[in-house]
C-alpha cells in the first residue's frame, strides 16, 4: 500500500513538472517569435512588455551590457538592400551555416546598380565605360554613381552622353541612396569596398568587387569576363560571404568650443557619433612622443591597460589588413569574432587575443595618461580622444554581403596565396635511396 502511494505521488509530481516546463517552453517560443527582425539585422525589436516582465521576473537578471540578439548566423528574414536576401537552405540544421551553402537570391529582379570607381585612376576609364554601356543598353538598368565621377572630363564623350538618361548621381554625406540601389559593383582595390561600406550605415546591398587595384584581397573578380559574371549575379543564386562590421560609438564630453561633426547626436550634454566599420578601429598615440595609455573594458569590466603605440580592434575581414602587419593571426570572415591587437606594446607578454563577437568593448583614456589619443575608422574619420571621451565597439547587425567568385572558403585561401603569399616556400627535395640509408 505504501509503495502504491509513493508511485502515485511520483506520477503526480512528474505531471506537475511537465506542466510547468510546458508553460515555460510556450513562453520561450513566444519570445523567440516576438523578437523578430523587420529590416536587415539591426531593426528595432518589438516585444510584449507584460510577457517579458513576467518571464524575466522568474529568471536571473541580465547584466545591462549584455545583448539579447544572437550572432550565430544570419536570420532567415535578413535582407540586403531593397531586393536581395539570403537563399534558404532546407538542409540546415544548425544556427551556424556552412559558408559554401550561402547563396544570394532576389525577391524581385534588380533594376538599379551603384558603380564605385577608384578616383583619379585613368586606367579604369575604359572598363568603367564598358560596364556602364553594358548595364544600361543590354541590361536596361539604372546606374548610380558619384557626381564627381560623371563630371570627369575624361569620360564626357559622345559614347557616354548617349546613356546619361539612365544614370543618376549622388553626393557623399548629402544624398541617401540606401533604398535606391539593388546591388553594388566596385572597380578598383580593397579601398573601393571599404568606401562602399561607409556609404551604407544600415542594410548594405550585395557588393561585387572587380580586381583593378593594387592588392585586391577583397576583390575576387577579374574584369576580362565581366559580362557573364554580372549576368550571373543579376539572375541570382550567386555565392556570397557575410563580412561582419563593427558598430562604433564615439562619445565625447561637451566642450564649449567643440565643433559638431557629422552623424552626431547630443545626449546629456555629450556628443555621440556612430559609425559602421568593416576593417578595424585604430586607437594610437597620434603625434605625441609618449606612450599611449588607454583602458580596455569588456562587458563593463576592465581587462587591461594598453601601453604602447596603440591598439587595433578588427573584424575577421580586417584581420588580414593592419592587424596582421602588427602580428595578429588571420581569421576567416565567417568566424564570429572580434580581434584585439596591440601596436608595439611595451610588454613582452601582451599578445593579440580573439574575443566572442557578442561582447561589448569600451576604450577610454587612462586617468594617468600623459597625452590624448587618436582614433581612426577604416583609415578615415580620424579624430582626437580626450579625457572623459569613450569609444564603444560591438558587432554590427548590418554585415556587408560580398559576392564570391567561387565560394567563401576557396576565395579566402586564394587571396591568402595570391596577395599575401601565405606559406610560400621552396619545397624540400626528395631523398634518394642512398641518402635514406644514412
Q: Which residues are catalytic?
A: 190
Buried b or exposed e, range 275-305, using 16+ CB within 10 angstroms: bbbbbbbbbbbbeeeebbbbbbbbbeeeebe
Residue labelled with grid coordinates 510556450: 26
> Would the CA dihedral through 93, 95, 101, 106 be positive or negative?
positive
**Rounded CA separation 246/392 (Å):** 10
Contact 65, 393 (CB under 8 A): no
Q: Are 281 and 248 spatial neighbours (Cβ–Cβ below 8 Å)?
A: yes
> Given its phi and psi angles, is residue 371 left (phi above 0), alpha (psi -120 to 50 degrees) or beta?
beta
| Dist CA 427 CA 201 (whole Å) | 47
In this structure, what C-alpha cell is assigned to residue 373?
589619443
What residue ranges in 48-101 does DSSP mark as E strands? 79-80, 84-86
Q: Which long-range contacts (CB under 8 A, 24 or more apart) does 408-413 make?
A: 408/99, 408/100, 408/102, 408/239, 408/240, 408/241, 408/332, 408/333, 408/334, 409/99, 409/100, 409/332, 411/220, 411/241, 412/332, 412/333
- Looking up cell 509513493 gives 6
Listed in sequence order, the residues at least 6 apart from 234 whose beta carbon sits closer than 8 Å to its beta carbon are 109, 110, 139
Q: Which of 171, 214, 184, 267 is nearest to 418 (CA)?
A: 214
- Pairwise CA distance, residues 3 & 362, whole Å: 61
Cell numbers placing 326: 602588427
Select from 177, 193, 174 the least CA-distant residue to 185. Answer: 193
DSSP, collapsed to helix, strand or coil, labels residue 308 as: strand
Amino acid at each position: 500500500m505504501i509503495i502504491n502511494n509513493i508511485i502515485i505521488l511520483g506520477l503526480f509530481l512528474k505531471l506537475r513538472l511537465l506542466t510547468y516546463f510546458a508553460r515555460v517552453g510556450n513562453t520561450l517560443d513566444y519570445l523567440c517569435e516576438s523578437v523578430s527582425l523587420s529590416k536587415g539585422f539591426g531593426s528595432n525589436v518589438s516585444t510584449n512588455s507584460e510577457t517579458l516582465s513576467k518571464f524575466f521576473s522568474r529568471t536571473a537578471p541580465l547584466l545591462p551590457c549584455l545583448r539579447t540578439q544572437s550572432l550565430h548566423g544570419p536570420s532567415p528574414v535578413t535582407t540586403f538592400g531593397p531586393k536581395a536576401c539570403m537563399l534558404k537552405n532546407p538542409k540546415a540544421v544548425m544556427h551556424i551555416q556552412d559558408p559554401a551553402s550561402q547563396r544570394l537570391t532576389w525577391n524581385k529582379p534588380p533594376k538599379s546598380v551603384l558603380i564605385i570607381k577608384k578616383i583619379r585612376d585613368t586606367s579604369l576609364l575604359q572598363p568603367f565605360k564598358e560596364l556602364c554601356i553594358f548595364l544600361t543598353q543590354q541590361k536596361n538598368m539604372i546606374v548610380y554613381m558619384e557626381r564627381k565621377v560623371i563630371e570627369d572630363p575624361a569620360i564626357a564623350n559622345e559614347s557616354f552622353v548617349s546613356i546619361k538618361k539612365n544614370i543618376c548621381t549622388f553626393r557623399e554625406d548629402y544624398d541617401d541612396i540606401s533604398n535606391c540601389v539593388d546591388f553594388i559593383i566596385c572597380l578598383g582595390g580593397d579601398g573601393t569596398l571599404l568606401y562602399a561600406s561607409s556609404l551604407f550605415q544600415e542594410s548594405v546591398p550585395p557588393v561585387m568587387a572587380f580586381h583593378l587595384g593594387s592588392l585586391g584581397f577583397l576583390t575576387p573578380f577579374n574584369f576580362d569576363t565581366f559580362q557573364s559574371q554580372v549576368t550571373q549575379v543579376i539572375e541570382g543564386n550567386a555565392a556570397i560571404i557575410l563580412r561582419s562590421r563593427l558598430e562604433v560609438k564615439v562619445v565625447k564630453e561637451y566642450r564649449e568650443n567643440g565643433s559638431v561633426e557629422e552623424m552626431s547626436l547630443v545626449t546629456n550634454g555629450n556628443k555621440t557619433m556612430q559609425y559602421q566599420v568593416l576593417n578595424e578601429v585604430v586607437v594610437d598615440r597620434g603625434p605625441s612622443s609618449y606612450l599611449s595609455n588607454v583602458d580596455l573594458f569588456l562587458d563593463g569590466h576592465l581587462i587591461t591597460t594598453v601601453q604602447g603605440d596603440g591598439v587595433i580592434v578588427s573584424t575577421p575581414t580586417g584581420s588580414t589588413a593592419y592587424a596582421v602587419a602588427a602580428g595578429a593571426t588571420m581569421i576567416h570572415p565567417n568566424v564570429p569574432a572580434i580581434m584585439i591587437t596591440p601596436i608595439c606594446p611595451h610588454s613582452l607578454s601582451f599578445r593579440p587575443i580573439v574575443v566572442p563577437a557578442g561582447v561589448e568593448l569600451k576604450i577610454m583614456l587612462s586617468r594617468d595618461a600623459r597625452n590624448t589619443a587618436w582614433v581612426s575608422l577604416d583609415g578615415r574619420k580620424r579624430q582626437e580622444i580626450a579625457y572623459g571621451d569613450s569609444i564603444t565597439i560591438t558587432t554590427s547587425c548590418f554585415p556587408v554581403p560580398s559576392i564570391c567568385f567561387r565560394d567563401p572558403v576557396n576565395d579566402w585561401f586564394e587571396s591568402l596565396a595570391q596577395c599575401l603569399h601565405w606559406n610560400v616556400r621552396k619545397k624540400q627535395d626528395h631523398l634518394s635511396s642512398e641518402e635514406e640509408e644514412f
